[in-house]
Amino acid sequence: MTRDQRRSSRRHEPRSFRCGHCRLDVPTDAVGTSHRNHCPNCLWSRHLDETPGDRAAECGSMMEPIAITVRGDGEWVLVHRCGGCDELHLNRTAGDDNPLLLFRLAVLPLARTPFPIEMIGAF
């Protein structure tokens, strides 16, 4: 988001943000989450919050989606790592997140095992 865009949104909560990674204009209303904090197209985020929605972080760097984890109820959660300060954040996935990218993140460790996958059968 440029400074001009930020100024033009005045006192209202911005209704959309420009993704700093793929440049998509992302509406802030998301299915299944009250604070959309990552881009549904490329899943990148920005380090703005200390806790979700508080906008307390001064870092502001782009956060790369590096992994998927799953909560006990089956909800998928994105792990973001900040490119500026290396902080890790957990973010709920939204209903319109890119399913292919989510899936790729989820299977990435299986696609790149540090040992031959045939070894699994040996134990």
Chain residues binding Zn ion by CB under 5 A are 19, 21-22, 24, 39, 41-42, 47, 59, 61, 82, 84-85
- The minimum distance between CB 57 and Zn ion, in angstroms, equals 6
Residue 104: C-alpha distances to residues 66, 67, 86, 111 (Å): 10, 9, 22, 9
SS3 (DSSP) at 79: strand
- The minimum distance between CB 81 and Zn ion, in angstroms, equals 9
Q: Bridge-partner residues for 26, per DSSP?
A: 17
Of the pair 63, 109, the CB lying nearest Zn ion is at 63
Of the pair 49, 106, the CB lying nearest Zn ion is at 49
Residue type, 32: G
CA distance 18 to 27: 9
- The minimum distance between CB 6 and Zn ion, in angstroms, equals 18
Of the pair 41, 121, the CB lying nearest Zn ion is at 41
> Which tokens go with 89?
């954040």
Of the pair 100, 110, the CB lying nearest Zn ion is at 100
Q: What are phi and psi of 35, to 5 degrees?
A: -125, 100
- The minimum distance between CB 44 and Zn ion, in angstroms, equals 5
